[in-house]
Amino acid sequence: MPVRIETAEILSFRLKVPAVELPRLPVMLSSELSLSVEDDEGETVLSVADSDSYLRFKAIGAEAMLTEVFLCNDVGGLFFERVLAALMVRHGGDLHARLVWSVADRNTKGDYAEIRIDKGKATQPSLAAAGAALAADEEEDPSALEVEGPEGRSALEVDVAESLARAKAHWAEYQRLKAKKG
């Protein structure tokens, strides 16, 4: 029987990703996994066919907040490493989890292995490498940014437009405060 994460106790997590990124996650994350993105009553669920693992996101404006993490029967820990950890490292997320592996020597704290990612910094080198690999894949394949977002614009165009809108709002606030002071 292959090595797998049997269960995981997720003690805490925090992750925000650009909402326009959610539809393209299966292409961005791993060609080895059969990932799917589905809408479930207004929330987006990222799951994999070969296990019971999934991530649930709720869109809040231009961002999507991770609201649920479920890891179970994850063969080789691929969903954990190539999806969850990669997203945490790439987007500066936090994760504290206890993984129960099917092989005793992977359970470094007795019955489990403790995992921490703080502000995108992973204590385990393989997890840090997963996030770096995700960033490298995006740089090598700029077509990953060409998935259409709202109004038929590419995700990159949407990101740029949102950044410009935020910059204009900050500039206007700065000018207002400057005029008020002077």
10-residue stretch averages of pLDDT, the chain, 182 residues long:
87 92 79 80 84 89 92 87 88 91 87 88 65 49 44 58 76 84 78
Non-local CB neighbours of 108 within 8 Å, separated by 6+ positions: 114
Q: Are residues 26 and 108 in the same domain?
A: yes
Q: Are residues 85 and 69 in the same domain?
A: yes
Q: Extract the tokens encoding 50.
A: 């070969």
Q: What are phi and psi of 115, to 5 degrees?
A: -120, 135
Q: Would you say 96 and 11 are in contact if contact means Cβ atoms under 8 Å apart?
A: yes
Q: Extract the tokens encoding 36.
A: 């799917």
pLDDT of residue 120: 81
pLDDT of residue 147: 42
Non-local CB neighbours of 19 within 8 Å, separated by 6+ positions: 59, 61, 62, 63, 64
Please, what sign has the CA dihedral across residues 133, 136, 141, 144? positive
Q: Are residues 30 and 93 in the same domain?
A: yes
Q: Are residues 139 and 114 in the same domain?
A: yes
pLDDT of residue 129: 56
Q: Are residues 165 and 104 in the same domain?
A: no
Q: Are residues 77 and 132 in the same domain?
A: yes
Q: Are residues 95 and 156 in the same domain?
A: no
**Residue 1 carries which side chain, given as an amino acid letter?**
M
Q: Are residues 65 and 153 in the same domain?
A: no
pLDDT of residue 58: 93
pLDDT of residue 145: 41
Q: Which residues pair with 158 in a beta bridge?
A: none
Non-local CB neighbours of 96 within 8 Å, separated by 6+ positions: 10, 11, 12, 13, 114, 115, 116
Look at residues 30, 18, 9 and name the one whose alpha carbon lies nearest to residue 83.
30
The continuous run of DSSP H or E covering 164 comes out as helix 155-181
Domain that holds residue 171: 148-181
- Look at phi and psi of residue 32 and say left if phi exceeds 0, alpha if psi is from -120 to 50, else beta: alpha
Q: Are residues 106 and 156 in the same domain?
A: no
pLDDT of residue 68: 94
User: What does DSSP say about strands 4-14 and 72-75: parallel, antiparallel, or unpaired?
Assistant: antiparallel
The tally of domains found in the chain comes to 2
Q: Are residues 101 and 73 in the same domain?
A: yes
Q: Are residues 176 and 92 in the same domain?
A: no
pLDDT of residue 125: 62
Q: Are residues 158 and 83 in the same domain?
A: no
